[in-house]
Amino acid sequence: MKALEKAHPGEGLSMVQAPVPEIGPDEVLIRVNKTGICGTDVHIWNWDAWAAHTVSLPMITGHEFAGEIVDLGRNVTGLEIGQRCSGEGHVVGTESRQSRSGRFHLDPGTRGIGVNVPGAFADYLALPAFNVIPLPDDIPDGIGAILDPLGNAVHTALSFDLLGEDVLITGAGPIGIMAAAVARHAGARHVVITDINPDRLRLAEHVCPNLRAVDVTKQDLREVMDALGMKQGFDVGLEMSGSQQALDQMVESLIMGGKIALLGIPPGTSPVDWSRIVFKAITLKGVYGREMFETWYKMIAMLQNGLDVSRVITHRMPAEEFADGFEAMKSGRSGKVVLTWR
């Protein structure tokens, strides 16, 4: 089978011929149809300090996918050959307190497909049956291939009650944009998204026309708040950028007792004015991945009930043109990039 492999330290990935994975008794073999390129994949492509510390070589990368089941391990029940599916990319154990209490997304022994175990940038993927997410007929493979990042957006956005609330999102990358669409779908009153990249802000308005996109280098956020009649501030903040400056601005823009969910990862360590957070009685929640499997149920239900994130996909190309896909991702001007494997 063809596969994208990180074989050596340094920039780039290689398209190689690899053996089709052999599945264990509790696994399924999935024929991959489409995959999404993630920011994590870009880190591995660039071979930055995180990737060098985390990824063992050689490694078939990729973890956002949609495909169909072509083989079942002997212990697998409840799934069928030919069934369309996506999958949870975090492979968890069963020994930790978190897993044994059903909080699988908090298992400290989590391994990531395409990071710690062979991934989905390939014709075939072996995946634990526990991780398989069946795809309803009304969700196409293109959307199935980006359910992983949509799940990050859903987990972050639904961390707090949004009905009737005013929501500030910092960072108009694809996940931030999808979080804005989720917030509106979940009943938020005003949704404002900020960034310093005009291309990303235009994409946000294209995907979610009923939000306010703000370039904070050109427009004062306080003026936007006044124009929206928000005298006290935002109720909920979703920090998706990893920018300390954005987080500081969010803290200042929230009401007393406001709530912040943080998905963005700042580079290195950042100075935080904890006294400001304490005196405003702000709640902070760190978000990692998706809640297994409540997030998946929620986002599939929303997609089947009118949530539309299809326009966040800006590039579709054959898997053989993967280098162009990575260039689009690294440019900072793209939304999601989806590769077709067959």
In whole angstroms, what is the distance from residue 303 CA to residue 156 CA?
17
Q: Cα separations (Å) of 137 from 83, 106, 144, 171, 300?
A: 10, 31, 11, 32, 11
Reported as type and span, the H/E element at residue 222 is helix 221-227
Q: Cα separations (Å) of 187 from 92, 155, 193, 219, 277?
A: 33, 16, 16, 26, 26
- 219 backbone φψ class: left, alpha, beta (φ>0; ψ -120 to 50): beta
Active site residue 283: no
| Catalytic option among 8, 35, 43, 314 | 43
Cα three-residue angle 232-172-221, rounded to 5 degrees: 30
Active site residue 40: yes
CA 227 remoteness from chain centre? 31
In angstroms, what is the C-alpha Rg of the chain?
20
Kindly tell me the sign of the dihedral angle through the C-alpha atoms of 159, 90, 15, 71. Answer: negative
Q: Report which residue type is found at 61.
A: T
Q: What share of the chain is helix, strand, coil (3-state, %, to 5)?
A: 30, 25, 40
**Count of positions (residues) in the chain:** 342
| Catalytic option among 35, 40, 61, 295 | 40
- List residues with catalytic annotation: 40, 43
